[in-house]
Chain A
Amino acid sequence: MELEKFELGATPLKESAMKDGKVLTLHKKPNLKYAWDNGPAIDRYLAELKKGRIIARKCNKCRRIMIPPRMFCELCWRPTDEWVYVEDTGVVNTFSICYVNWDASRIKKGDKPHLPAVIEIDGASDGMGILHVLGEVEPDKVKIGMKVKAVWKKPEEREGAITDILYFKPMRG
C-alpha cells in the first residue's frame, strides 16, 4: 500500500468558517469548581510557607530530603520519616523567558516576560528543585547556576500558598 494511492479523509476548515457561520458550532463554557484536599504533606508545606519557611520531608532509607514534601518516597515506595526545614535560597537549574500566558495568549506589549525556573533548594538533596518564577532581574542577566533567594509576601498578606513566595531574586556577591 502507498498513502499516495488513497484519498485521505479530514476536510480542513479555515478559521473564518466558524466566524462566517459556514459551519455550525455549539459554544459551551463549563463552570466547574474544585476544592482540592492537599494531604498532610502539602498542608504542612503551605502552613510553613505562611510562616515564611520552606519545609521538606526526609526518607531515612535513601536519605533524600525531598521538596515538595511527600508522605511517601516514590523511589523506596515506603513512608517518609521526618520533617526537615530547608533554606529559602537555591540555585537556578534551568529557566525560560516566556512571552505567552497559560492559555497561549500573548503578554501585553511592554509587560515584562514571565521568568519560570526550576530552582534547586538549598538544604534539600542534590537536584531537588521546584517550579517557581524569578524577579528583580533583567531577563538577559539570568543564568543557569545563579544563586537566588525567595522574596516573600508581607506576613499579613500570606495565605498559605506557593504564591506566598512572590518570586526568587538573584543573591548579591
Chain B
Amino acid sequence: MAYQRVAIVGAGITKFVRRAHETGKELAAQAAKMALDSCGMTMKDIESVSLGTAPDAFDGVHMKGEYLSDGSGGWRKPYMRQFVGGGTGVFAPIHGWYHVASGMFDTCLVVCSEKMSSCHPHPQGAFKTIFDHTTEQALNPTLIWIFALEMNRYMSTYGITKEEIALVSVKNKKNAMDHPAAQLPMEITVEDVLNSETLAWPVNRLDISPASDGAAAIVLASEHTAKRITDKPVWIDGVGWNLDTAYWATRDLYYPRYVEKAARMAYEMAGITEPKREIEIAEPYDPFDYKELHHMEGLLLADRGKAVEMLLDGKTQRDGDRPMCPSGGALGVGNPIAATGLMKVIEIFLQLRGEAGKRQVPGNPRCGLAQAWGDLMQVGTVVVLRR
C-alpha cells in the first residue's frame, strides 16, 4: 500500500477537571493553541482538521461536531468529526493519519474535546440510550452494569481477584501524581479500593475513572513537512480499528476479540511480528482498572489471563520492563472520553521523545502503542508509534 509517512510533531492538552468553567469550544481552542505553539506552527499552516468528541447527549447539543468546529480551528477548512464512543480519542488521530497518509493534505490538526459536566444529575444517565431501546432499556440498565458483568466474567474465567485488579488503580492513580493535567492523582492502597463504595459488585468506586471536562490536540505532518518542523518527529507507523457486534450479550465478554483484530491490523502495518518484545511501552485504555489487563491481552502484550502476572511482578510499573499507562491513565489523569484517548497518544509521543519529565520511563523506548475502546463494549482503536 502506498501512502505518505505521517508524524506527530506537536501536542497540547488542558487540565482534566470534574467541571471546567470553559465551554467545550474554549477547551478545544486551548488544547489546539498549545499543540500549535509546541511546534512553532499557526492555524495558517493547518490544511485539515479532525475532531473527536463523544455523545452529543453529554452536552445536550446536537451536531456537536459543528458546534465545536470554531474552537477546533475547523472553520473554512476540510473538517471531519469522529465518534466511536470511548474509542474516539484514538479514532480521531487515525482519521487525521489518513488525511495526511493519503497525500490529500500535508498537515492535520487533531483535536479531542469533551465536556461531560453539563449533563445532570450525572453524565452516566446519558449512557442509558446506548442500550437497545426495546430489549434492554426497559430493564433500566446503567453503564456500570456492562463493566461489572464483563469484569466478573473476566475474573471468574481466569480466577483473578479484586485485590489483584485493584493494583492497577493504585498504580495508575500514583503515576498521575506526576502528570500536570491530572484530575485524580493520589496515593492509595489496595484496601482503599476494596473499601470504597460498592457501586455494582465487583466494581467499587475506586475501580472507576471519573467523569471529566478537558481537551487534547496533536499536529500531524507528512514526512517532508515534519522534517522542516521538528528534528524529533514521532511516526505513526501502524493504525488499526475494529468493531464487534452490538448484540453484546451474545459474545463472551472475557476476551475483547475486536481489540485483537485492531491490534493485528496496526502491527501488520508497522511490521511488528512480536508485540510482546517490540512494543516497549503502552497506554491501554483504562476507564476501569480491570480494562488495562483485559486490553493488554487483546493487544497481545500478555497471554490470555496472564496480564495480571505482569502486574504482580511489577513489570507494568513505570520503571518496570513493560510500563503500562505511565501517564496515570483514565483512572488517574481523568476521563473526558474523547480527550482521554488522545491524552494517551500524547503520552507515548512524549515518552518516545524523552520529554515526559518526571513520568519518563527508563530505557529510551523506541516503539509504543496507545489504545482506546468504546461503543457498546465493541470497538477497539490502536495506533503504533515509533521515533
Contacts and interface: CB of A to CB of B under 8 A. Distances in A.
A binds B: yes
A38 interface: yes
B34 A102 contact: no
Contacts, number: 195
Interface string B24-63: 0011001100100111000000000000000000001000
B249 interface: yes
A33 to B, nearest CB: 12
Contact of A46 (B17, B134, B144, B353): B134
Main secondary structure of the interface of B (DSSP, over half): mixed
Contact of B250 (A23, A96, A103, A127): A127
Contacts of B4: none
A127 B14 CA distance: 44
9 contacts: A8-B181, A27-B120, A95-B152, A96-B144, A102-B141, A102-B142, A104-B122, A113-B201, A161-B134
A10 B250 contact: no
A104 B132 CA distance: 19
B18 A1 contact: no
A136 interface: no
Contacts of A128: 250
Nearest to B129: A34
A100 B134 contact: no
Given A36-B134, A117-B149, A4 B200 contact: no
Interface residues of A, number: 59
A96 B152 contact: yes
A132 interface: yes
Given A36-B133, A162-B136, A100 B144 contact: yes
A4 B139 CA distance: 47
B148 interface: yes
Contacts of B27: 9-10
B200 A96 contact: yes
A94 B139 contact: no
Contacts of B15: 8-10, 12
Given A2-B350, A12-B17, A42-B135, A116 B11 contact: no
Interface residues of B, number: 73
A130 B250 CA distance: 7
Interface of B: 10-22, 26-27, 30-31, 34, 37-39, 60, 120-122, 124-125, 128, 131-136, 138-142, 144-145, 148-150, 152-153, 156, 179-181, 197-203, 213-215, 245, 247, 249-253, 350, 353, 355-358
Contacts of A116: 139, 141, 145, 148-149, 200
A101 interface: yes
Interface of A: 1-4, 6, 8-15, 17, 23, 27-28, 30, 34, 36, 38, 42, 45-46, 66-68, 70, 74, 93-105, 113-114, 116-118, 127-133, 139, 144, 161-163
A98 B201 contact: yes
A103 B129 CA distance: 11
Contacts of B135: 42, 45, 68, 130-131, 162
Nearest to B18: A12
Contacts of A66: 247, 250
Contacts of A104: 121-122, 124-125, 142
Contacts of A144: 152-153, 156
Nearest to A94: B153
Contacts of B142: 98, 100-104
A103 B125 contact: yes
A12 B19 contact: yes
Contact of A2 (B10, B17, B156, B357): B357
A98 B200 contact: yes
A38 B22 CA distance: 41
A10 B20 contact: yes
B145 A103 contact: no
Nearest to B26: A9
A25 to B, nearest CB: 9
Nearest to B122: A104
A70 B213 CA distance: 39
A98 B203 CA distance: 9
B129 to A, nearest CB: 10
B134 A3 contact: no
Contacts of A93: 153, 249, 252
A28 B119 CA distance: 10
A165 to B, nearest CB: 10
